[in-house]
Structure 1
Amino acid sequence: MLFCQFGIRGGVNMTDSVIVGQYVETHSIFHRLDPRTKLVSIVILMLSFLILGTWFSYAVATFFVIGILLLSKVPIQFFWRGLRPLLFILLFTFLYNALFSKGTILWSWSFIEVTEEGLRTGLRFVWRIILLILLASVLTLTTKPLDLAYGLEKLLAPLSKLGVPVEQFSLMIVIAIRFIPTIMEELDRILLAQKARGYDLTALSLPKRIFAYIPIIIPLLFTTIQRAEQLSYAIDARAYGNGKGRTSYRVLQFQQMDYLAGGIVLLFAVILLCLKIGKV
């Protein structure tokens, strides 16, 4: 109710270029998994991807991620929308490694040198980042925000004995995730309002467009703070407090499907570790 009332909406009717914080209902296997299973599995997979070393291990990880995307039944264009805003960063990462890594020179011009080792390193970095982004996208696209908060709260529950405000921490993370598409939606409204007044930023050159965004930051910050304040009042009006000791209508319970999914993820992580040790 809090999210719906103050514009923090789910679904897919938000800015097309941002998928963080969106939820797509497709009734797949991943949608039925316990949020704790998905959180732990994603963390294990991300850590295992950090040890990828050989091209064969990258290929195995890629096929595994493609299988996850297909099983999620989420349209591929959603994952492309998540990658599209990061294309510049990925290109910069690749070029930085290709130009500034020492090794066998393949091409040079003036002080610019492209090395074989640099190309390999850049490709591996970009490949790994793409896999990590796709995994994170699967988590947010197949898990409702409140379920994600509840699962995170249950996973971090042991820390509450040490005085850590687990309930507030999990709620804060989920609200931050849900505010991303809302902020982008507000940015679109401001740009459309300026365009209606005859000031089209897309018609400007890139340097001028960057400086033209500076005056937009002020109204964007103002509306964001206003939304956050309204959300805070709504939480207080519902006597949420610090969230400690609150019960939930839905009780999380691991099903057979969760144990199977967790076992597959652990087995896959062990396989990647063996490939790393064996340098296959």
Structure 2
Amino acid sequence: MANRLLIGQFVEADSALHRLDPRTKLLGMLLLMIVLLNVRGWGGYGAAALFVLAVLLGSRVPLRRYARGLLPILPVLLFTLLYHILFGRGDSVIASYGVIRITREGTEEGLRIFARIALLILLASVLTAATRPLILAQGLERLLKPLSKLGVPVEQFSLMIVIAIRFIPTVLEEVDRIQLARRARGFDPSGLNPVRRLFAFVPVLVPLLVTTVRRADNLTMAIDARAYGDGRGRTVYRPLALRRQDAAAGAVLTIAAAAILALDFWFGR
């Protein structure tokens, strides 16, 4: 599972997206997230999907890695889609089975949420795949720097966010290790039905919690041993600097966001 999930993993590649300033990528992702949360029509979703596909291709990371990254989230997406199909509200009834009413509005809403979550996951994947964790933390810290005047510990907050993202594949790797240990002791949940398999996963939570807390404790001691402190006043080896390519990327993102919203309005009327 850890090898399939791409969120939190940096992929070395020579692309224009990798060379962009992290602040440009963070602001661009925020802009696209706002656009996706406001899109309602299929014209807007189609345009957004094409733009996200162009971004994925521009990262020069194989598309199959992004596709594998969606597989661990696929059960949640399918459950969300099925829930809206079976219990969504609407007047245009497609089929009815007792208390269950399948409506066109509920089906369309489920498909929209499915597409929205999938596109947001792909955007988060390309952000972490094209940006090193420390560079991402530095960019987030620079963006939140004005909040430090209000007493907000932006240095600690930025480091906490990036460490949390980086820990996602580590935790999943620990889940794989625990499950392999259970299989080595003769327990194989593959032959169980889905409900019993779900309950069989509960005993994994205790060792997972213990190892996660232990890793967090070791990380805390490592940070203290390097005299990180509260992070204020620390210098960096390579200071961030916005360049022409960042301005060009910002212009492209702004035009793309406006085009997506325009198509969504045009085809959604």
- TM-score of Structure 1 vs Structure 2, range by shorter chain: over 0.9
Look up the match of 1:22.
9
Distance 2:210 2:173 in 1: 14
Matched, 1:158 2:111: no
Instruction: Write out aligned runs for 1:227-246 (5 A).
Output: 227-246=215-234
The within-5 A match list for 1:16-165 is: 16-99=3-86, 100-165=88-153
Distance 2:141 2:263 in 1: 34
* Matched ranges for 1:245-264 at <5 A: 245-264=233-252
2-structure distance, mates of 1:95, 1:204: 22
SS of the aligned residue for 1:79 comes to helix
Following superposition of structure 1 onto structure 2, how do residues 265-280 of structure 1 map, counting pairs within 5 Å? 265-278=253-266, 279=268
Q: Match for 1:98: what amino acid?
A: I
Distance 1:136 1:265 in 2: 16
C-alpha distance in structure 2 between counterparts of 1:232 and 1:18, whole Å: 25
In 1, Cα distance between equivalents of 2:253 and 2:189: 46
In structure 2, how many angstroms separate the alpha carbons of the residues matched to 1:246 and 1:143? 21
CA shift, 1:277, in A, is: 4.5
Deviation larger for 243-252 or 219-228? 219-228
Match of 1:176 in 2: 164
Aligned partners of 1:103 and 1:118 also within 8 Å = no
Residue 238 of structure 1: CA displacement? 0.8
TM-score by length of 2: 0.94
Q: Report the 3-state secondary structure (helix = DSSP H, G, I; strand = E; otherwise coil) of the residue aligned with 1:74.
A: coil
- Report the count of equivalent residues: 267
| CA offsets 1:36-88 (integer angstroms, 9 cap, x no match) | 00000000011011221222222111111111111111111221122112222
Q: Is the 8 A contact 1:105 1:115 kept in 2?
A: yes
2:211 to 217, 220, 223: 223
* TM-score between the two structures when normalised by the length of structure 1: 0.90
Q: Structure 1 residues 215 and 58, CA, compared in 2 at 3 Å: closer, same or farther?
A: closer
Letter in 2 for 1:69: L
CA 1:210–1:96 in 2, change beyond 3 Å: closer, same or farther? closer
Amino acid at match of 1:47: I
Unaligned runs of 5+ in 1: 1-13
Deviations 1:206-258 (A, max 9, x none): 23222222222222111111111111111111110000110000100011110
RMSD of Structure 2 on Structure 1 (CA):
1.6
Distance 2:199 2:262 in 1: 50
Letter in 2 for 1:240: Y
**Cα 1:167–1:270, aligned 2, differ >3 Å: closer, same or farther?**
same
SS of the residue 1:149 aligns to: helix
